[in-house]
Structure 1
Amino acid sequence: MLRSVLTVGGWTMASRILGFARDMLIAARLGAGPVADAFFVALKLPNLFRRLFGEGAFNSAFVPAFAGALAKEGRAAAQDLAERMGALLGLWLAVLTIAGMVFMPQVLGLLAPGFRADAGKFALAVELTRITFGYLPLICLTALVSGVLNGLDRFAAAAAAPVFFNLLLMAALVGLAPYVATPGHALAWGVLASGFVQLAMVWVAARQAGMALNLLRPPALTPEVRTVLRRMGPGVLGAGVTQLNLAVDVIIASLLPSGAVSFLYYADRVAQLPLGVVGAALGTALLPLLSRQLRGGQSLSAHRSMNRGLELALLLALPCAAGLAAAAGPIIAALFQRGAFGEAAAAASTAALIAYAFGLPAFILVKVFAPGFFARGDTRTPVKIGIATVALNLALNLMLMGPLGHVGIALSTSLAAWANAGLLAWLLARRRLFVADRRTRRVLPRLVAASLAMGLGVAALGALAPAAEGTGARAALAAGLIAAGAAGYFAAAMALRAFDPREVLRMMRRRGANAGT
């Protein structure tokens, strides 16, 4: 599992770094004004459907079925299942995309009701979203082919594909912006182009893996396909609860003064770095591993995988959360404070980042606990929890948006994430599907202590550091705090015996030896 996590995490890290470069460019060109708000909403809608119908619900239902067919019936049966699902998914997405483009004003009236107060801003958001909505079928089919690759234990191409999303958006903003109405239009066309490139990339990788998928086959409701669809239905909310909560955030943020959507976007982008690198990597690697172990009757191995996944998640998530909260101001200033993105926008985004950092471990724990249900074919339990946490997020948003503004929205999302992770863990433990072993019970309190010590140290250093003026000085301050925090955390973790680098090196050597045999 460690090797798979490192593969996915490494490519995701590269994508996130390019994503920061993209967002820095967007912040400098668009700032946090109406064009930025309109584009971020235009990007949010196809991404919401992608994560619900593509990566979230689909993968939670499809990957275990594909892995099971591959293990029990062979590659031909697994490929037939993938192609049948691809045909149905393509047909459904085509209908959804056409309907979405036709009724986009009504859709955005629900997603961003506050935009209606500014007719120009609302019209721009509708126009941009119609362009980006064509990205939906392309990226959902990319998720299908990526699920096939993950089921074949081929993680690199699927994890690398998002790199081209960032590259094409930057190229569009620089090269296309002078020839279209606004920079937002250039970004929207870049989103659409990236969908074609990502789908082509994973399809070629699947072909090289010996599974050239025919995505144009006539759809057929075979028993295997029906099983995936039954599990996929409730998984729309179960696996995508975080995205539904973020959609609620956009709805509420659109009712706040101009810029609130952008402040939340920039803060969320920073928080998404550890969530994407750690959470997505663990979820991607853990689901097929648990599926194989459970189908093979290896329940003890599955318990061990869950425990090691939990330890690895918190080993990385806790210090990331503490470090982001302690150094939020210097990080936001170093990344975005230039051009059209001024000091006031940086301060507003900093406050939102601190609120998101509080929920970061919970977001990642959901990625660890949810596969414990999905690998057993249970998508109903997470959906029940998902409905409850979406309702909780909405209630908290309405309570906190008045006194705290956009920061209340971020804090509500974090609190809802903790409720989600806590309920998932509680039900797994109650059903004896997850039991924390002796090692996990020993390590977790020490990881918490090491993270708290690091966070306090970084906060003290930030308070003592002189004010940074200029892009270079801000970048140096943020880099120094991050380096000091990383060094302090691993020193504290090793001193508390919560982390042993020699064990990781031994695991890496074993993986390397196994790969070479």
Structure 2
Amino acid sequence: MLRASAIMAAGTMVSRVTGFVRTMVLAYAIGTAALGDAYNAAYAIPYSILDLLLLGVLSSVVVPMIVRAQQNDADGGRAYEQRLLTLATVGLVLVAAVAVLAAPLLIDLYTDWDRGSTKFEVSVMLARFILPQLAFFGVGAVAGAILNTRDRYGAPMWAPVLNNLVVIGVFVMYAVVGTGNDIERVTDSDLALLGLGTTAGIVAQALVLIVALRRAGFSFVPRFDVRNARLGEMVKVGVWTIGYVIVTQLGFVLTTNLASSAGNVVAGHGITPYTLAFQLFQLPYGVIGVSVITAMLPRMSRAVAEGRLDDVRGEFGSSVRLVCSMMVPVSLLLMVIGPAITVPIYARGATSVADAVYIGNVLQVYGLALVPFAIFQLLLRVFYSFGDTRTPVFIGAGTTAVNAGLMVLFYVLLPPAYAVMGLALAYAIAYALGAVLAWILASRRVQGLGGWAVGMAMTRMYLAALPTAVLALASVWVVTETLDGLGFLNSVIVLAVGGGLGMLLYLGVAHRMRIPEVNSIVGMVARRVGR
């Protein structure tokens, strides 16, 4: 699992690095105020729809069903995979067409902007250019799921790199030939460049996955014999997953409405800082957590199908320890040096240092959520491996309800300038409580998850990470007290000392404490470097 996770982590790391460059160029070209908010609102909608229709179902329903088809069908599941890809293609093309027509309604749903305002109209036009990517993204996601069941993890993790490179080129072009970040001066051709360029990146990503699928021996033949597509079974299992995604998306709609409302009061403190901070928060989980989960789920599904509960417990325990061995120090670093991360990335062009620092403040709060969010996601895969998509709905509903209540409470209590930070704090508290509930229920399902062993391992990880946190905090204090604030150069110094040396310090202390997950990672890297 470590080797498979390493392959995916390498691709995801490059993807996230190019994603950083993408957001840097985005912030440089259009900033974090009105035009940035309009773009990010339009950009978020197709991903929300995909979560609702497809992506939430992939890991919980589609992957286990493909695995069963490969094990039980006479043709190794080939016909089933072809039917699945055919239905996904046709269905998502129709969804994309309807979404383009309904763009004004969608923008109205996700934001608190007045209809007829410049920000609203610009966001609607951008959405109409961006929403066609639904079809390409969805087809690519199904292709990636089929590749994962064949233990082909490279292409799904590397394809987003091409997407990022295409969009980076688009934003650079806009920075050169566009009209800047003034939403009142932006032209239709500017919006077409931003919107269609974003869609072009997803098209390129989907093509890479389709080519990789063909090279893996999959020959696509359109099949419309839906009677054999096991849609009844999929709906029966997937209805609960869709219910879970609906619940989480309702929470996301509330989040974007509250963030957009705060941005109406304080420019640069709305949807864009929330989006950019959340993307950075998701980086460690995307590199480490998603990689481990993607390798873990097919193995756990096979173990459940064969009645090997001991292997399920062992797979989960090793996964959570492996994820937390890196998440623990990173979460502490995010809480300490958040602004030092965001200033070098975003503070240029249309984005001021103050705007970048605020993004970093939001990121600091999100650091609290990193470990509980990762454990929460790992726990949901325990239920999915059993084909149980009902329990996660209730867990997700409770988590989202707590998150929604806390978001509204913090939004009312905090000044608008701190509203987005309040949204991040609500997220952290809700997922911590959700992880506790999910652990209790999952432990009952598999007759114990080794909570004592996991708790002791995480305690040792936090103890090993404390010197890193102290070093990072000292670097922030020295730079801010002796130098002139967190400008570009000062932030780089904090990153080098607090982040770079801090992580090396953690690896050294963890190695001395004989934390096996860290030793495995260090040993694997050392062997590869030695080659």
8 A contact 2:327–2:370 mirrored in 1: yes
Q: Deviations over 1:242-301 (max 9, x none)?
A: 665444311211111343111111211211210211121122111111112222332212
8 A contact 1:314–1:444 mirrored in 2: yes
1:220 matches 2:233:
no
8 A contact 1:116–1:122 mirrored in 2: yes
1:82 matches 2:81:
yes
8 A contact 1:372–1:433 mirrored in 2: no
Q: Deviations over 1:112-134 (max 9, x none)?
A: 1x221771000001110111111
> Where does residue 181 of structure 2 map in the other structure?
none
Structure 1 residues 31, 369: closer, same or farther in 2, change over 3 A?
same
Q: State the number of aligned residues.
A: 508
Cα RMSD, aligned residues only: 2.4
Q: Residue type matched to 1:300 in 2?
A: D
What's the TM-score once normalised by structure 1's chain length? Answer: 0.92
What does residue range 490-501 of structure 1 map to in structure 2 within 5 Å?
490-499=507-516
1:19 matches 2:19:
yes
> Where does residue 29 of structure 2 map in the other structure?
29
Q: Residue type matched to 1:262 in 2?
A: T
Structure 1 residues 470, 441: closer, same or farther in 2, change over 3 A?
closer
Q: Deviations over 1:200-246 (max 9, x none)?
A: 111111111111223x4325043633222322221124368666544
> Where does residue 110 of structure 2 map in the other structure?
111
Structure 1 residues 425, 140: closer, same or farther in 2, change over 3 A?
same
8 A contact 2:373–2:435 mirrored in 1: yes
Separation in structure 2 between the aligned mates of residue 297 and residue 63 of structure 1, nearest angstrom: 18
Q: What SS class does the counterpart of residue 196 from structure 1 fall into?
A: helix
1:372 aligned residue (365, 382, 388): 382
Separation in structure 2 between the aligned mates of residue 507 and residue 344 of structure 1, nearest angstrom: 41
Q: Residue type matched to 1:146 in 2?
A: G
Structure 1 residues 473, 100: closer, same or farther in 2, change over 3 A?
same
> Where does residue 343 of structure 1 map in the other structure?
353
Q: Deviations over 1:339-376 (max 9, x none)?
A: 21112212321221111111011221122111101111
Separation in structure 2 between the aligned mates of residue 486 and residue 398 of structure 1, nearest angstrom: 36
1:161 aligned residue (132, 147, 159): 159
> Where does residue 71 of structure 1 map in the other structure?
71
Structure 1 residues 503, 176: closer, same or farther in 2, change over 3 A?
closer
Separation in structure 2 between the aligned mates of residue 208 and residue 173 of structure 1, nearest angstrom: 32
8 A contact 1:458–1:481 mirrored in 2: yes
Cα drift, residue 507 of structure 1? 7.2
Cα drift, residue 480 of structure 1? 2.8
> Where does residue 98 of structure 1 map in the other structure?
97
Structure 1 residues 416, 237: closer, same or farther in 2, change over 3 A?
farther
Q: Residue type matched to 1:412 in 2?
A: A
1:252 aligned residue (244, 254, 258): 258
Q: Deviations over 1:38-71 (max 9, x none)?
A: 1101110001122333322233101011112112
Mean CA deviation greater in 225-234 or 158-167: 225-234
Q: Residue type matched to 2:239 in 1?
A: G
Cα drift, residue 491 of structure 1? 2.6
Structure 1 residues 486, 409: closer, same or farther in 2, change over 3 A?
same
Structure 1 residues 278, 497: closer, same or farther in 2, change over 3 A?
same
Structure 1 residues 117, 284: closer, same or farther in 2, change over 3 A?
same
2:218 aligned residue (211, 215, 218): 211
Structure 1 residues 237, 415: closer, same or farther in 2, change over 3 A?
farther
8 A contact 1:11–1:160 mirrored in 2: yes
Cα drift, residue 408 of structure 1? 0.8
Structure 1 residues 273, 298: closer, same or farther in 2, change over 3 A?
same
What's the TM-score once normalised by structure 2's chain length? Answer: 0.89
Structure 1 residues 14, 219: closer, same or farther in 2, change over 3 A?
farther
What does residue range 438-477 of structure 1 map to in structure 2 within 5 Å?
439-465=453-479, 466-467=482-483, 471-477=488-494
Separation in structure 2 between the aligned mates of residue 505 and residue 173 of structure 1, nearest angstrom: 37
8 A contact 1:4–1:155 mirrored in 2: yes
8 A contact 1:444–1:498 mirrored in 2: no
8 A contact 1:401–1:409 mirrored in 2: yes
> Where does residue 428 of structure 2 map in the other structure?
414
1:265 aligned residue (234, 257, 275): 275
1:186 aligned residue (187, 193, 200): 193
Cα drift, residue 90 of structure 1? 2.6
Instruction: Quote the sequence identity (%).
Output: 25
Q: Residue type matched to 2:304 in 1?
A: L
Q: Residue type matched to 2:110 in 1?
A: L
Q: What SS class does the counterpart of residue 226 from structure 2 fall into?
A: coil
Structure 1 residues 286, 242: closer, same or farther in 2, change over 3 A?
farther
> Where does residue 283 of structure 1 map in the other structure?
293
8 A contact 2:162–2:205 mirrored in 1: yes
8 A contact 2:251–2:403 mirrored in 1: yes
> Where does residue 404 of structure 2 map in the other structure?
394
Structure 1 residues 103, 337: closer, same or farther in 2, change over 3 A?
same
Contiguous gaps of at least 5 residues in structure 1: 512-517
> Where does residue 183 of structure 2 map in the other structure?
none
Q: What SS class does the counterpart of residue 494 from structure 1 fall into?
A: helix
Mean CA deviation greater in 141-150 or 165-174: 165-174
Structure 1 residues 329, 470: closer, same or farther in 2, change over 3 A?
closer
Separation in structure 1 between the aligned mates of residue 227 and residue 174 of structure 2, nearest angstrom: 43
Q: What SS class does the counterpart of residue 474 from structure 1 fall into?
A: helix
Cα drift, residue 434 of structure 1? 4.3
Cα drift, residue 490 of structure 1? 1.8
Separation in structure 2 between the aligned mates of residue 364 and residue 480 of structure 1, nearest angstrom: 26
Q: Residue type matched to 1:249 in 2?
A: T
Q: Residue type matched to 1:326 in 2?
A: V
Contiguous gaps of at least 5 residues in structure 2: 179-186
